[in-house]
Structure formats: C-alpha cells, structure tokens
Amino acid sequence: MTVIQRLSDAKEVDGALQRAKDEAERQISLMRGIAVDVIGDDRNVVVGVNGSVARREVTSGSDVDLFFLVRNGDFERAKDTQSAFREKLREAGIKMPAHDGVFENPLLVEDLLQKIGGEADTNEFTTRRMLFLLEGEWLHNPDGFREVRIDLISNYVDNEIDDRKLCRYLLNDIIRYWRTICVDFEQKTAEGAKPRAIRLIKLRFARMMLYFGGVAAICKTMDMPAAEKRETLRQVFAIPPIDRLKDVFGVTETRPVLAAYATFLNSLNDANIRGQLSLAGRSGMDTNEYSELVEVAREFRSALETLIVGPDSRHRDIASALLL
C-alpha cells in the first residue's frame, strides 16, 4: 500500500511548491513588521532568517532559524534585542527552534567575512557563512544585509579571476560545507534516541537542494568578467534555491527535480507522515513512509545529476570541478 502521494502533474507540483512559498512569505512579512517595532532603525544590527522559511519551503512542522549580525561589537545590546525579538515572535505564533544551536548568539560581521579557511574557521563559522550566503533572507536592515553579502562574495571572487574560470574558491567552500553536513550527520544521530529517519530525509532533499543551489549559482557565472560574476552571484543568491535552479537550468529541464522535491515537501506537510519519520532512533527507518521517500530521494538525486552531467548538459566544466 502506497503511503505518500507522488506528485508529477505540473499543476500539483506547482501548487505544492506555491503553498510552501506563500506561507514562508507570510511569516517573513510578519517578522519584518515585528522587527520594525522591536528594533526600530538600529543599523548596527542585521537580522535575518535561514532554513525552510528563507528557502520558501515552509511545511506544517517548520520552525524559524534566526540570525543576528553585529557591527561595532555591542554584543550585550544585541543579545537583549535578540531576546526581545524572539519573545515577540513567540507571542505572534512563530515556531522557534530549540536553544543552543550555532545561531544562539549574535556574530560579528567581521568574523563572518574574514574567517574563511584555517584553524579559526570552525564548523560554526562555516555553517553561519554558508547559510547566510546560500539561503539567508533579511528581516531587519536590508541595506546592511546586502552589504554583507556583497562583501562576502568579494572575498571569494577578486578581480584577478579570468572570465573563463570558475569561481572555484567559492565552489570549494560550498563543496566542503556539503561534505561537512554529511559527515556531521552521523555524529549528530549516533545517540539512540534522536530520530534518524526525518534527519536523513531532510539531508537527502533539503540539504542537497541547498548545496545544489550553490552549484547552480556558480554555473550562472561562467564566461563573465569578475565584476559581473560578483553581481550575478549577488542576484542569484537573493532568490530561493528552487527558483535558482529554474533560472539557471530552465523550467522544463528542472521538472523532474521539482516533482521529487514537491513530493518531499507535501509529505512533510502531512502530520501522519512526519510523525512516522520522527520516531525515536532508527524506528522511523522501518516505516513505509521512509522507504517510499528514500525511493523519491534517489530519483531526486538522479535528476540533479542529469542537469550537470546529462547528455545535453552545458556544464561539463563544473561537473569536472565537483570531482577534482
């Protein structure tokens, strides 16, 4: 007996993606309004959101991953502002994540920009930098947010890069982040009580979409001068990964990818399916829900591979860079 609903019809696929996007836009609009009330015109703080809300992929179980960036080092004031903002969001019915994550405390803008590689670039800095770049969306201080993204891109793409060259420095950091996620998954789910099935399904869909959205952005910059590469990256990173793939590879070409991804989002939006995937430890991996979504995940990965290495692909150079 089939448990999940496979979406293949274009209207069904587009409908599922649009519902997730509409709810994300509603939450972003609500949070921006609350930010105005709580933070006012303070330009020393940049507030944004990562995760499913930023990617416009909200389902019924989604929470909100906030981040605070600080200029001039006033951490105590930023912490107070962050606490007040979080409380107002809870009062408004916004689901907040658990405490003690990598975004628990504000971060200096300089740390986000400068600690790329080396011993100082811990998992926390890598995570915050990559998520800001690949999926971040502003909630307060859009000009400040835009400036940080421009500066970060400039640190990866300088004027010395040749038109024909890939933005390999950035690509390598994106690849490194993806591999780190995959390796860390095992450590984070090693304890028996933590639900493994839903985390693995999210890894194989949402995290992979995030990674591939970064690869797509690099594809977009081929055969461009350095300044144009930087501006193109800024523009492409400002749109959700789903729209990014359609922009870079074409709507028709991405249909198989989007059908699998819409099936994933539609399934997570079903409380019964999500409940089965969230069973403690490995129990969720013994369910029909998990088995069926694993099969869809294989199709999703195969469709992504086709975009890069398929017979009609125009992106052989980046396919080679992903290997070597």
* 206 vs 212: CA distance, rounded Å: 10
DSSP structural state of residue 117: S
Q: What is the CA radius of gyration of the chain?
A: 20
- Which tokens is 153 given? 């891109």
Q: Give pLDDT, residue 324.
A: 75
Q: Give pLDDT, residue 34.
A: 97
Which residues does 268 contact at the CB level (< 8 Å), separation at least 6? 59, 60, 61, 274, 277
Q: Give pLDDT, residue 100.
A: 65
> Helix (H, G, I), strand (E, B), or coil: what is residue 47?
strand
The residue with tokens 């944004």 is 48
* 46 vs 109: CA distance, rounded Å: 9
Q: What are residue 108's DSSP bridge partners?
A: 70
Q: Give pLDDT, residue 158.
A: 95
DSSP codes joined into one string, 160-205: TS-TTS--HHHHHHHHHHHHHHHHHHHHHT-STTS--HHHHHHIII
Within the chain, which residues score under 50 in pLDDT? none
pTM to 2 decimal places:
0.94
228 C-beta neighbours (distance < 10 Å), count: 12
> Helix (H, G, I), strand (E, B), or coil: what is residue 80?
helix
- Using alpha carbons, select from 126, 109, 112, 114 the residue that is nearest to residue 70: 109
Q: What is the per-residue pLDDT across 258-272, written as a single tens digit (0 to 9) for each?
A: 999 999 999 999 999
Q: What is the per-residue pLDDT across 128-173, written as a single tens digit (0 to 9) for each?
A: 999 999 999 999 999 999 999 999 999 999 999 999 899 999 999 9
Q: Are 19 and 262 in contact (CB under 8 A)?
A: no
Amino acid at 281: G
Q: Give pLDDT, residue 242.
A: 97
Amino acid at 41: D
* Cα separation values, 57 from 213, 219, 261, Å: 14, 23, 10
Q: Give pLDDT, residue 99.
A: 67
The b-or-e profile of 86-107 (16+ CB within 10 A means b, else e) is: bebbeeeebeeeeeeebbeebb
Q: Are 57 and 269 in contact (CB under 8 A)?
A: no
Q: Give pLDDT, residue 76.
A: 84
* 315 vs 166: CA distance, rounded Å: 11
Number of H helices, E strands in the chain: 15, 4
Amino acid at 141: N
Q: Where are the alpha helices (DSSP H) in 47-195?
A: 51-54, 75-91, 109-114, 123-134, 142-156, 168-188
Q: Give pLDDT, residue 2.
A: 82
**Biggest CA-to-CA distance, the chain:** 59
- Which tokens is 197 given? 């099935």
Amino acid at 324: L
Q: Are 79 and 106 in contact (CB under 8 A)?
A: yes
